[in-house]
Amino acid sequence: MALIALLLDTARPPGWIQMDVHDFMAIVREYRNFVHLRKQRERGVVPDRDTVGMCWGTLLALLNDLETIR
């Protein structure tokens, strides 16, 4: 299991991360594969600055949620 999937599957049930972050991070997990040119060609996706911005915002939301755990 990938690290991101493990984090999401562990952090969601006890409520450490919100549902929106969980759901959006699932999409980010898919887009992280596009760092490989072969995957980009297979799906016809070329990530750009906007793609990075969307993924980065979701990652920051995840970290914000985790930061509130006491």
Give mean pLDDT, residues 1-19: 91
Is residue 8 within 8 A of residue 2, CB to CB? The reply is no
Does the structure show a pLDDT above 60 at 1? no
How much is the pLDDT for 33? 81
31 has pLDDT over 60: yes
* C-alpha pair distances (Å), 62 with each of 41, 42, 45, 51, 66: 29, 29, 24, 17, 6
- Asked whether residue 7 carries a pLDDT value surpassing 70, the answer given is yes
| Average pLDDT over the chain, rounded to an integer | 91
